Chains A and B, each alone.
Chain A
């Protein structure tokens, strides 16, 4: 088990103090499906958006593990699941690739706003005809003079409707397989980039997503993240961070859910006894605890090994599978523990279940994670 230093614990406690304010009006925002700019401003002031970024750009200069540890608290104390999702999307979509692969120019120009939250980030990978098969994208970027011309359309872009900066992945070489994709940092007001209306969805309703259209959108060559053709490696790095950061937020949410269920099972009585004394209810809560701890250990263990420079391709996929399913299972269990109350909007648990379903889809569906593990195990090969 990891042990956290006093400094790390203080950082986490510091975030906790902001969360009451973030929770104000959550239910109304969720009902109205709106992104709350006031809450976002508070998130920015809390410093959480700059956690993993260098202090020279206004960040907190923390490593991956500390970032995850603090984000877990966001999940634990902030009841607005959509807002938390927007936070991790913002952080991993733009700041993470710029810090890892960006030029000094890109870092100086964009990281301060990303750390502060005055620049909201998003990334555009999926397209109407290529979701799981993302690298089969049709959006192209062709060289013209000093810049690149982007053409195509993207979909399901989280934070899209409120973003100031979008990392767009486009094909720059039709004949170079995974090495024919490039990542571009595109400012929202670049001529040729337009964003559709927020798409209505099942959960994470306070985190809007939309289509992004690129119509002869000219992007300066200096806004390529990494090298032309290196987009897949940028994406691979981003996906690792997205999985570790988004799902550790879910672990925080699972811990909170578990605490609520324990309290409820001890105070709610039926047949003259607390419902927690019925073995079926107790077992359900024990299973919630096991799922939460398992997800937590997979995520922190994988992050620890990634920081050591080990190959974590299989472990990232396993962590994502385990954590996303644990989130759905524990959210459904919580609704069951609370009975009729669990099904009402007032208790907030049905919203958590709707939010949780997204996790088995984004960052590569559960089927795709299984495929990756199977291939890494060599299951696609014939023996002999």
Chain B
């Protein structure tokens, strides 16, 4: 499974009980669609930290990093690279 699929699966399982994994496009606006509210955001941040071994202090929590599955995917890729750069991978 690639990261896009892992993230999609997580979001569907956690926040979209009536939706099939194939029904959440990677460019779907998670804010506009009401998928990511405040508690969901906290859960996602925590999950990203655990699942991708990211230090929460290193996660840049900006809207553009959380708006779509694609955005989350590319930002954890960048955060991972950043950690590798710091010798923490």
- A345-384 CB mask vs B (1 if < 8 Å, else 0) is 0000000000000000000000000001001101011100
- Most A C-beta atoms less than 10 A away, residue of B42, B62, B63, B66: B63
Instruction: Confirm or deny: A179 has a beta carbon within 8 angstroms of a beta carbon on chain B.
Output: yes
Which residue in B31, B42, B46 is a CB contact (below 8 Å) of A177? B31
Known: A135-B38, A177-B31. A381 touches B17 (CB 8 A): yes
Q: Does B5 contact A (CB under 8 A)?
A: no
Whether a CB of chain B sits under 8 angstroms from the CB of A110 is no
* Most chain B CB atoms below 10 A, which of A175, A177, A372, A381: A177
Q: Is A178 a contact of B41 with CB atoms below 8 Å?
A: yes
Is there an interface contact between A177 and B17, defined as CB atoms closer than 8 Å? no
Is B32 part of the contact surface with A, judged by Cβ < 8 Å? yes
Is B37's beta carbon under 8 Å from chain A? yes
A375 B39 Cβ-Cβ under 8 A = yes
Q: Which residues of B contact A372 (CB under 8 A)?
A: 39
- Chain B: CB-nearest residue to A375: B39
Size category, B interface: 20 to 34
B-contacting residues, A311-325, CB 8 Å: 311, 313
Q: When the two chains form their complex, are residues B41 and A175 in contact, meaning their CB atoms are under 8 A apart?
A: no
B35-79 contact mask (Cβ, 8 Å, vs A): 1 or 0: 011110111001000000000100001110011000000000000
The residue from A135, A173, A236 contacting B42, defined by CB atoms under 8 A apart: A236
When the two chains form their complex, are residues A313 and B42 in contact, meaning their CB atoms are under 8 A apart? yes
CB closest chain-B residue, reference A372: B39
User: In the complex, which residues of chain B have a beta carbon less than 8 angstroms from the beta carbon of A230?
Assistant: 61-62
Q: Which residue, of B14, B38, B46, has the highest number of chain A Cβ atoms within 10 A?
A: B38
Contact bitstring A223-253, B, C-beta under 8 A = 1, else 0: 0000101101100100000000000000000
Q: Mark A80-105, 1 if CB is under 8 A from B, else 0.
A: 00000000000000000000000000
Asked whether A175 lies within 8 Å of B61 as measured between CB atoms, the reply is no
Q: Name the residue of chain A whose CB is nearest to the CB of B61.
A: A233
Known A-B contacts A230-B61, A236-B42, A372-B39; A382 and B17 likewise in contact (beta carbons under 8 Å): yes
A sample of 21 cross-chain residue pairs with beta-carbon separation below 8 angstroms, ordered by A number, consists of A175-B31, A175-B32, A176-B63, A176-B67, A177-B31, A177-B37, A177-B41, A177-B63, A178-B36, A179-B31, A179-B41, A179-B61, A179-B62, A179-B66, A180-B63, A227-B62, A232-B38, A309-B56, A311-B46, A372-B39, A381-B13
